[in-house]
Amino acid sequence: MMLLNSTPLYLGTSGYKYDDWMDVFYPAGTSHYNMLEYYTKHFNLIEITFTFYKIPYAKTIQSILSRAPDDVFFSVRLHKNLLRGRNTQREFNDFLYGLSPLLENNKIKAFFADYNYKFTSCRANMSIIKELAGKLPVEVPFFAELPSSTWYKERYIEEFKVNRIGLIGLHLPEIPGLAPFYPVSTNYFTYLRLYGKSRLWVVPDDKDTDYRYKHDEIKKILNRCIDASVLSKGIFISYCNVTGGNAAVNALDTKKIVESEF
């Protein structure tokens, strides 16, 4: 197990199946099927992200699980329909059934809900987040990704802590209205998702993930993470700057820095 300041570190990228990672991370000619095997030689966290768009099939999830080493774990992105509120338990059960191979083997380390920039802070939206958290398995930490800066006020941070809801630390361009970089442990875990600071990302809703972190930037992020995770049971770091293989390169850089400098 990789450790950061004596705390278990789960390191990976937002998804792993990208054609433009060929020759940057994956060896030339690597098939989509074999990408998972190569990826898990380097990283111990798989973020399953396709689940945002479609309900997973247990057979598909079983195939992924069967090819992942025992020391690799998963974080699962929740389906977009589950984020809207007023969902039935049956909708959640259908989603969770598709993930049953992972759940039955205790392989899911986190669920996360990534809301868009227009999902701003208010009592109604906080209730949606709390309702969502209450319908998920209690043994799996739940995190909310909230890119609107309106959420980063002490009263909301305290409410997340009281309800043991994780707040993902987002590393984004410094655009008015977007979340500040705010690593915090509100549920005894720390989760960072790093999108980069592309100069082409100039308005909140128009993402550009073509950005590669430099060595010093990564060290600063890791130090901030350590400060925030003193009481954490685990740290998750996922690179979301996926364009052109940047995420994989930076995750490799991070692994080397953790092993040699921390």
* CATH label of the domain that carries residue 152: 3.20.20.410
The rounded distance, in Å, linking the Cα atoms of 59 and 221 is 37
Measured in residues, the chain has a length of: 262
Residue 129: closest CA among 97, 100, 99, 168: 168
Sign of the Cα torsion 84, 86, 91, 92 reads: positive
The rounded distance, in Å, linking the Cα atoms of 229 and 224 is 9
Sign of the Cα torsion 50, 126, 136, 106 reads: positive
Number of domains in the chain: 1
- pLDDT for the residue numbered 230: 87
Q: What is the residue type of 142?
A: F
With residue 99 as reference, give the H or E element that holds it.
none
pTM score > 0.85 for this model? yes
Residue 3: closest CA among 196, 237, 179, 193: 237
| pLDDT string in tens for the chain (262-residue length) | 899 999 999 999 999 999 999 999 999 999 999 999 999 999 999 999 999 999 999 999 999 999 999 999 999 999 999 998 877 788 899 999 999 999 999 999 999 999 999 999 999 999 999 999 999 999 999 999 999 999 999 999 999 999 999 999 999 999 999 999 999 999 999 999 999 999 999 888 889 999 999 999 999 999 999 998 888 999 999 999 999 999 999 999 999 999 999 8
- pLDDT for the residue numbered 80: 95
Domain that holds residue 158: 3-261
